[in-house]
Structure 1
Amino acid sequence: MVVIDLLALPFCFLIAMLLRGGDLKLAMHYGPASYVLVAVVTIAALSMSDLYRAVIRFIDQRLLSVTGLALAVAVLCAYVVLFAINDEMFPRSALAIYWFIVFSYVVTSRIGMRNFLRNHSTRRRPVSDTVAIYGAGEAGAQLAQTMRNSGEYRPVCFFDDKHVLNDRTIAGLRVFHTDRLVELVQAHNIRTVVIAIPSVSPERLRDIMQRLGQAGVSTKILSRLVDLADDKATPRDSIRELKFEDLLGRAPVPPRVDLFARCVRGKQVLVTGAGGSIGSELCRQIATLGPACLHLLDHSEYALYTIRQELATRFPELAAEAHLGSVCNADLVARILHDGAVQTIYHAAAYKHVPLVEANIVEGLRNNVLGAQVVAEAAARARVETCVLISSDKAVRPTNIMGASKRIAELIFQAAAARHGAHTTFCMVRFGNVLGSSGSVIPLFQRQIARGGPLTITHPEVSRYFMLIPEAAQLVIQAGAMAKGGDVFVLDMGEPVRILDLARTMIAMTGLTEKTPQNPGGEIEIKFVGLFPGEKLHEELLTEGVVFPSEHPRIMRMKENALRPSVLETCITCLMMACDTHERAMIESMVKAIVTEYTPQQAAPATAPAPVLAVPEPGLIKKFVPFRI
Structure 2
Amino acid sequence: MNKIKCKKSKIYSGNNLVNLTDIRYLPRWIILFIDILILIFSLTLSFIIVDSLNVKLYSSINLFQKFSLVISVNVGFMYLFKTYSGIIRHSTFMDLFKLFLASVCTTIVIIVINYSYYLTTGLRLILIPFLGFYLAISFAFLFLFRLVVKETFHMLREYKRSSLKKKILVLGIGEESIAIAGAILENPNLPYYVEGFLTQRYDSSSVKILGKPIYTKEKLESLSKKDIEVQGVLIIKENLSRDEMDTWVNLFLEKGLLVLKAPSVQKLRNNELGTNIKSLQIEDLLNRKPIKLNSEEVKKSHFNKTVLVTGGAGSIGSEIVCQVAQFNPSLVVVLDQAETPLYEIKLEMCEKFPDINFKFILADISNKHRIEQLFQDYEFSMVYHAAAYKHVPLIEDNPHEAILVNVLGTKNLAYLSSQYHVNRFVMISTDKAVNPTNVMGASKRVAELFVQSFQNTEGNTTKFITTRFGNVLGSNGSVIPHFRRQIERGGPITITHPEIVRYFMTIPEACELVLQAGAMGKGGEIFVFDMGEPVKIQDLAKRMIKLSGLEPENDIKIIYTGLRPGEKLYEELLSDNAKNLPTHNEKIMVSRDPTMKYEDIELLTNRVAKAALKRDSLEVVRQLKIIVPEFKSNNSIFEILDQQ
Structure 1 residues 462 and 160, CA, compared in 2 at 3 Å: closer, same or farther? farther
Structure 1 residues 249 and 501, CA, compared in 2 at 3 Å: closer, same or farther? farther
Q: Does 1:567 align with 2:618?
A: no
CA distance in 2, matches of 1:208, 1:193: 10
Residue by residue over 1:254-280, the C-alpha shift from the partner in whole angstroms, topping out at 9 and shown as x without a partner, is 432112222221111111111111111
Shift, 1:542, TM fit = 2.2
Q: SS of the residue aligned with 2:429?
A: strand
Paired position in structure 2 for 1:384: 422
**8 A Cα contact 2:237 2:263, kept in partner:** no
Within 5 Å, give how 1:155-554 maps onto structure 2.
Answer: 155-156=194-195, 171=209, 172-173=212-213, 175=215, 185-187=225-227, 189-195=229-235, 200-202=240-242, 205-206=245-246, 208-209=248-249, 211-224=251-264, 239-248=277-286, 250-419=288-457, 422-515=460-553, 522-543=554-575, 544-554=577-587
**Which letter maps to 1:349?**
A
Query: TM-score under structure 2 normalisation?
Result: 0.68
CA distance in 2, matches of 1:240, 1:444: 20
Paired position in structure 1 for 2:163: 127
Q: SS of the residue aligned with 1:261?
A: helix
Q: Quick check: which has more Rg, 1 or 2?
A: 2
Shift, 1:165, TM fit = 7.6
Structure 1 residues 577 and 238, CA, compared in 2 at 3 Å: closer, same or farther? closer
Query: TM-score under structure 1 normalisation?
Result: 0.70
CA distance in 2, matches of 1:345, 1:413: 13
**Which letter maps to 1:523?**
D
Paired position in structure 2 for 1:90: none
Shift, 1:432, TM fit = 1.1
Within 5 Å, give how 1:583-594 maps onto structure 2.
Answer: 583-594=616-627
Q: SS of the residue aligned with 2:455?
A: helix
Residue by residue over 1:152-179, the C-alpha shift from the partner in whole angstroms, topping out at 9 and shown as x without a partner, is 54333556678x6897666452536568
Q: SS of the residue aligned with 1:575?
A: helix
**8 A Cα contact 1:192 1:220, kept in partner:** yes
CA distance in 2, matches of 1:418, 1:146: 62
Shift, 1:474, TM fit = 1.8
How many residues are paired up?
A: 491
CA distance in 1, matches of 2:436, 2:614: 23
**8 A Cα contact 1:159 1:181, kept in partner:** no
Q: SS of the residue aligned with 1:514?
A: coil
Residue by residue over 1:483-525, the C-alpha shift from the partner in whole angstroms, topping out at 9 and shown as x without a partner, is 101111122221122222221221122212212xxxxxx2111
The worse-fitting range, judged by mean Cα deviation, of 140-149 and 473-482 is 140-149
Ranges in structure 1 where 5+ consecutive residues have no aligned partner: 1-55, 58-111, 516-521, 609-617, 619-629
CA distance in 2, matches of 1:305, 1:227: 31
CA distance in 1, matches of 2:300, 2:204: 55
Ranges in structure 2 where 5+ consecutive residues have no aligned partner: 1-90, 93-146
**8 A Cα contact 1:466 1:496, kept in partner:** yes
**8 A Cα contact 1:118 1:150, kept in partner:** no
CA distance in 2, matches of 1:603, 1:310: 40
Within 5 Å, give how 1:61-140 maps onto structure 2.
Answer: 125-133=161-169, 135=171, 138=174
Paired position in structure 2 for 1:71: none
Shift, 1:332, TM fit = 1.4
Shift, 1:118, TM fit = 12
**8 A Cα contact 1:209 1:508, kept in partner:** no
**8 A Cα contact 1:271 1:346, kept in partner:** yes
Shift, 1:217, TM fit = 3.2
**8 A Cα contact 2:494 2:561, kept in partner:** yes
**8 A Cα contact 2:199 2:214, kept in partner:** no
Within 5 Å, give how 1:588-603 maps onto structure 2.
Answer: 588-603=621-636
**8 A Cα contact 1:417 1:485, kept in partner:** yes
CA distance in 1, matches of 2:344, 2:198: 46
Shift, 1:200, TM fit = 4.0
Structure 1 residues 196 and 347, CA, compared in 2 at 3 Å: closer, same or farther? closer
**8 A Cα contact 1:202 1:246, kept in partner:** no
CA distance in 1, matches of 2:581, 2:223: 53
Q: SS of the residue aligned with 2:408?
A: helix
Q: SS of the residue aligned with 2:498?
A: coil
CA distance in 1, matches of 2:327, 2:469: 23
**8 A Cα contact 1:274 1:283, kept in partner:** yes
CA distance in 1, matches of 2:153, 2:458: 71
**Which letter maps to 2:409?**
G
Identity %: 35
CA distance in 1, matches of 2:547, 2:264: 19
Residue among 634, 637, 640 paired with 1:604: 637
**8 A Cα contact 2:432 2:572, kept in partner:** yes
Residue among 154, 167, 185 paired with 2:193: 154
Within 5 Å, give how 1:30-41 maps onto structure 2.
Answer: none
CA distance in 2, matches of 1:459, 1:178: 37
CA distance in 2, matches of 1:475, 1:197: 23
**8 A Cα contact 2:281 2:547, kept in partner:** no
Shift, 1:205, TM fit = 3.6
CA distance in 1, matches of 2:497, 2:219: 30
Q: SS of the residue aligned with 1:125?
A: helix
**8 A Cα contact 1:249 1:497, kept in partner:** no
CA distance in 1, matches of 2:631, 2:235: 45
The worse-fitting range, judged by mean Cα deviation, of 372-381 and 473-482 is 473-482
Q: SS of the residue aligned with 1:419?
A: coil
**8 A Cα contact 2:312 2:386, kept in partner:** yes
Residue by residue over 1:117-175, the C-alpha shift from the partner in whole angstroms, topping out at 9 and shown as x without a partner, is 9959998634243434375654797366665566754333556678x689766645253
Structure 1 residues 182 and 357, CA, compared in 2 at 3 Å: closer, same or farther? farther
The worse-fitting range, judged by mean Cα deviation, of 215-224 and 357-366 is 215-224
**8 A Cα contact 2:176 2:265, kept in partner:** no
Q: SS of the residue aligned with 2:304?
A: coil
Q: SS of the residue aligned with 1:484?
A: coil
Structure 1 residues 558 and 178, CA, compared in 2 at 3 Å: closer, same or farther? same
**8 A Cα contact 2:282 2:544, kept in partner:** no
